[in-house]
Amino acid sequence: MEKIEHKYIGVDGLKLHVAEIGPPSGSPTILFLHGFPELWYTWRFQMIAVANAGYRAIAPDYRGYGWSDSPPEPDKATFDDFVSDMAAVLDALHISKVFVIGQDVGAMVAYLFALRYPERVHGIVTLGVPFMPPRPVEYHNLLPEGFYITRWQEPGRAEADFARHDAKSIVRTIYILFARSEIPIAPENQEIMDMVEPSTPLPSWFTEEDLAVYGAAFEKTGFQTALQPINIPDPKVEAPALFVTGEKDYVSKFPEMENYIKSGAVKMFVPNLEIEYIPEGSHFISEQFPDKVNEIILSFITKNYEG
């Protein structure tokens, strides 16, 4: 990790943290976009791998995440804010075109970036979450009341749930929950943060040292930066694209999700999409199986970079 450099870039009155490795003249540049509750650190293995291949890797922390400043009204942050921030970061670094790689909610940011700036995208890779249609399935009508997204969208509930715990404990609980193959659904009288016993061990691939990095970052920023969705009518991403998912990722069990992916319906929106499955992979495949993910990403870049 000592080769990864860190800098701050001013965007919209905020200082955004950017981790970077690889030759400044290295082509192409790879833009890594993290999910929740994640940071630039989520991509540490992939950044080093693409740099070793001669490419330039950059991984920002979104506004309100990690080492970046929080916006004045964190609860009003949108995916569109993140997309605009990423474009501004690339402009500041004099980077005209990138491969965009996103995990978890970072996948949504990645696809929105490709829709807004198609001329700046060589290709797009998403991990764990595919392109989601503009009128997504209303999961709250199809899953029990305790579905974690439904709970966290209830005004004030996530804030009250998280307020009972320190940042490190929150990250620990979410990593354990999301690494399982079952959709996190709490019983009626239990909060999401109470679904994991304190004695439950971390996933074998996630160390106490890793947890300390995430815990320290979110201790600084908190978890208040919301992600308000935006609607783009009739979107279509024409760039080469790849969706990588673990066969045990709980997201694949969302209602209609498996059929949406395997039937090819997702290609209505992303016609040039390829799909790769990682056996035994959970939601956090970039950290669980870094070597395999690195291999897949580098193969995609080699195949789709025109120079």
131-145 pLDDT per residue, tens: 987 666 677 788 999
Structure tokens at 170: 């929150």
**What is residue 285's predicted lDDT score, i.e. its pLDDT?**
97
Q: How far apart are CA 81 and CA 84, in angstroms?
A: 5
Structural domain contains residue 15: yes
Q: What angle do CA 201, 206, 209 make, to 5 degrees?
A: 100
Residue 153 lies in a domain: no
> Is the pLDDT assigned to residue 110 strictly greater than 90?
yes
**Residues 40-46, mean pLDDT to the nearest whole number:** 97
In a domain, 160, yes or no: no
Please indicate, yes or no, if residue 297 is contained in any of the structural domains. Answer: yes
pLDDT of residue 181: 96
Residue 233, pLDDT > 70, answer no
Q: Residue 56, SS3?
A: strand
* 302: three-class secondary structure by DSSP: helix
Entry pTM: 0.95
The residues, ordered by sequence, that sit 6+ positions from 199 with a Cβ below 8 Å of its Cβ are none
Q: What is the CATH number for 294? A: 3.40.50.1820
pLDDT at position 136 is 61
d(CA 167, CA 158): 13
pLDDT tens readout for residues 154-197? 888 888 999 999 999 999 999 999 999 999 999 998 999 999 99
pLDDT digits (tens, 9 = 90+) for 283-301: 999 999 999 999 999 999 9
Ramachandran quadrant class, 299 (left: phi over 0; alpha: psi -120 to 50; beta: rest): alpha
Establish if 259 belongs to a structural domain.
yes
The yes-or-no verdict on residue 226 having pLDDT over 90 is no
Residue count of the chain = 307
Task: Say yes or no to pLDDT of 228 above 90.
Answer: no
Q: Which domain holds residue 240?
A: 5-139+225-304
Percentage of the chain exceeding pLDDT 90: 80
Helix count and strand count (H, E) for the chain: 10, 8
How many domains is the chain built from? 1
Over the chain, what is the mean pLDDT? 93
Whether the CB-CB separation of 228 and 77 falls below 8 Å is answered with yes
